[in-house]
Amino acid sequence: METSSATIGVFDSGVGGLSVLHHIRRTLPEARLIYVADSAHVPYGDKPAAYIEQRSHTLTRFLIEQGAEAIVIACNTATAAAAASLRTQFSLPIIGMEPAVKPAVAATRSGVVGVLATTGTLESSRFAALLERYGEEVEIVTQGCPGLVEQVEQGDLNGSRTRELIARYTAPLLVRGADTFILGCTHYPFLAPLIRDVVGEGITLVDTGAAVARQVQRRIQSELSTRTKSAHPSTGSGRTDLHDAAQFFTSGDTEAASRIMSLLWGETVVARQLPIECL
């Protein structure tokens, strides 16, 4: 099959995973994308791992039913809670997220790296393993960021409340001398302009969206190349039309989701409701 036109399913606790979807679209412009925002259950960061795992399985099954040939867990917390069990249950490629500690360690000049993330990510064994692996090379300072996900979910990317939270959470990292910040949640890249405005141009911001997109490309090329061509053929130009190329679903309010997704995606989005068994 033409792996460039594969169907890729992406899910997140809410709209933050659209930051990853942007990178996937740029890397695989002919792919059919199906995105699920689990906004009725956002944020994942303060919920039990078993709950997040159950939601992840529900959303993965839905995406597979919609024709997904690869799944991207566009959420650090859900990756930590569910990636291993998803890979055990499903045979298709499952690509997850993890805070970009390795590139941040390579980028720092001061030897101090700050991590902005949700509580769920910071408390996960997956993140603990990263700290153990790279913590001897540099000082890694972590900062939980309650409330930032909710600000992005509301579309408040530069308001006074969002600025206040960013100033509060970045201050301890700056005091410790961090010159490189890991954006450890897929919602946070949408706040990058405001973060940079608050902390200054001298701070390097690192996220993993582009690396995940490259991994998706590698996985579908290596694992889907021998499978039957997708049932969602492209047009004569090699590109599906916009409606077929990107579809959006939510477990939350469709009107609110459509408005926020349109803002973050940069095009008009009509979000559809997940079926009742997935809510």
Residues 31, 140, 185, 264: which is the catalytic one?
A: 185
Query: Is 145 known to be catalytic?
Result: no
Q: What DSSP assignment string belongs to the chain?
A: --GGG-EEEEEESSSTTHHHHHHHHHH-TT-EEEEEE-GGG---TTS-HHHHHHHHHHHHHHHHHTT-SEEEE--HHHHHHHHHHHHHH--S-EE-----HHHHHHH-SSSEEEEEE-HHHHTSHHHHHHHHHHTTTSEEEEEE-TTHHHHHHTT-SSSHHHHHHHHHHHHHHHHTT--EEEE-STTGGGGHHHHHHHH-TTSEEE-SHHHHHHHHHHHHHHHSTTSPPPSS---TTSS--HHHHEEEEESS-HHHHHHHHHHHHSS---PEEPPGGG-
Catalytic residue among 18, 33, 70, 75: 75
Is 185 marked active-site?
yes
Residues that are catalytic: 75, 185
